[in-house]
Amino acid sequence: AMATNPMLLLSSPHTRTIARDTSLDPKAAAKALSRYWECREAMFGNAAFSEGVFSQPTHADFVRYYDRCLRVSSDPVVEEASRSLAAEFVRCVNQAKIDALDQITTLASAKDAEELWDAQKRAPDLANTDEIKLQFLKCEEFVEVKAAIRMMKYWKLKYMLFGKEVACQRMVLGDMISGDERLLKLGVQRIMPGSDESGRCIFVISSAMLLDQDWDDDHLLRALWYAIHLAMERESCKKNGLVIIINHRGTSLEILGRYPRETTQVMLVSAMPLKICAAHMLIEPSTWWQMMFATTISFVTRLLKMRTMCHSNTEEKPTSTLGRFGIPRDQLPHELGGEAKIEHWCQWLEQHRDFSL
């Protein structure tokens, strides 16, 4: 059966039914599935394995099969022949998708792709490597059109924030403009030291940290750009994605009115090559906040809407609220009652002054 349909264990309804019936016990499910196909062959002979009896795999099945092959290709426990076959499948998929992505970006309009084309000429190591293209493809589950759009938005936004000369150079923390570095160390946008219970990187945005501070949109957005790239370099983010906590409690209406929400949203949701697995927004319990949340959420994708939670119950401690979603206290910032202090963030930044993006 698996020779006829390599994605049998991913797309077959029999597999899912047997897995549920055996309470997701791998050994019991494997025995039951083997017995099922043995009985099926006894009843129907070779017809039991004809292509017509298998359900057509979905795009999600193909993505899961790719992920499984990627794991198998580097698993020392798996026999060498299986590792080689898995590695060859991954290589073929990667090359086919990269070629398709290149074709789309080449044929795109100058209005959309001008910055990307320029960056690929000026800095091919930053904009035109297979590794970078795969980051965008994996972020969009190998839908090349979506990956191309994200890649073009990335470079359009980077040129807007840094200018073409700086955007095409490798930047390190030590080279940042003083205003950018000051806001970065202020902790308005920062990474928590570890991960949540699912192994995902945690990224926090706290607008209240801007109270009584001198800032503007450009400095804030460039600091966010750098912080997000630091997060993307973490293995927890590469493998499992990002959880974002947006804390708007204790801030002022003036700051919220000035805060570049739209550009921040484009950067996080539409431009960066990363997967946002969940978003938690902490707001005050008021009609104004509810309207603001409704406006913000209306611009995100349907999938991200399903992964976004709005918390307005100020009677419950944030540590308890977010703890129910697998985010422990030691991975929450101090302004939310957690143990992660600004000093630790600043120390970590100093240790990564030579990190380039």
Q: pLDDT for 302-335, tens place per residue? A: 556 667 888 887 788 999 999 999 999 999 999 9
Segments forming the whole domain that contains residue 151: 108-167
From 96, 122, 140, the end of a domain falls on 96
307: which strand partners?
A: none
Taking the C-alpha atoms of residue 211 and residue 301, their distance in angstroms, rounded to an integer, is 31
Domain tally, the chain: 3
162 and 183 co-located in one domain: no
204 & 257 share domain: yes
Residues 217 and 344 in one domain: yes
Last residue in a domain, options 64, 96, 128: 96
Same domain, 128 and 143: yes
pLDDT value at position 357?
Answer: 74
Name the maximum alpha-carbon separation found in the chain.
78
Residue 330 lies in a domain: yes
What local confidence, expressed as pLDDT, does residue 290 receive? 61
Instruction: Check whether residue 341 and residue 196 sit in a common domain.
Output: yes
> Are 202 and 158 contained in the same domain?
no
Written as six digits, the tokens of 141 are 């589950």
Is 21 domain-assigned? yes
102 belongs to a structural domain = no
What pLDDT, on a 0 to 100 scale, did the predictor assign at position 294? 58
Task: Work out whether the CA dihedral 27, 31, 34, 36 comes out positive or negative.
Answer: negative
Return d(Cα 233, Cα 191) in angstroms, integer. 11
Residues 257 and 335 grouped into a single domain? yes
CA 322 to the chain's CA centroid = 19
Residues 6+ apart with CB under 8 A from 219: 177, 179, 180, 182, 183
What does the alpha-carbon distance between residue 73 and residue 89 come to, in Å, rounded to a whole number? Answer: 9
User: Does residue 159 lie within any of the structural domains?
Assistant: yes
Among candidate residues 96, 120, 155, the one where a domain is terminated: 96
Q: Tell whether 133 and 117 lie within a shared domain.
A: yes
Q: How confident is the model over 216-271, as pLDDT tens digits?
A: 999 999 999 999 999 999 999 998 999 999 998 888 888 888 889 889 989 999 99
Q: What is the CATH number of the domain that holds 286?
A: 3.40.525.10
Contact 59, 65 (CB under 8 A): no
Same domain, 247 and 293: yes
Cα–chain-centroid distance for residue 189?
A: 17
| Number of residues that make up the chain | 357
Token pair of 330, please? 């030691």
137 domain-assigned: yes
Q: Are 255 and 290 in contact (CB under 8 A)?
A: no
Task: Report the pLDDT value the prediction gives residue 58, as an integer from 0 to 100.
Answer: 83
The residues of the chain scoring below 70 in pLDDT are 11, 52-54, 286-306
Percentages helix, strand, coil for the chain (3-state, rounded to 5) are 65, 10, 25
H or E element at residue 291: helix 287-297
185 located within any domain: yes
56 DSSP assignment: P
Q: Are residues 70 and 146 in the same domain?
A: no
Residues 155 and 280 in one domain: no
Give domain status of residue 307, yes or no.
yes
Whether 357 is in a domain gets the answer no
255 and 272 both lie in a single domain:
yes
Backbone angles phi, psi at 244, to 5 degrees: -110, 130
Q: How far apart are CA 217 and CA 157, in angstroms?
A: 13
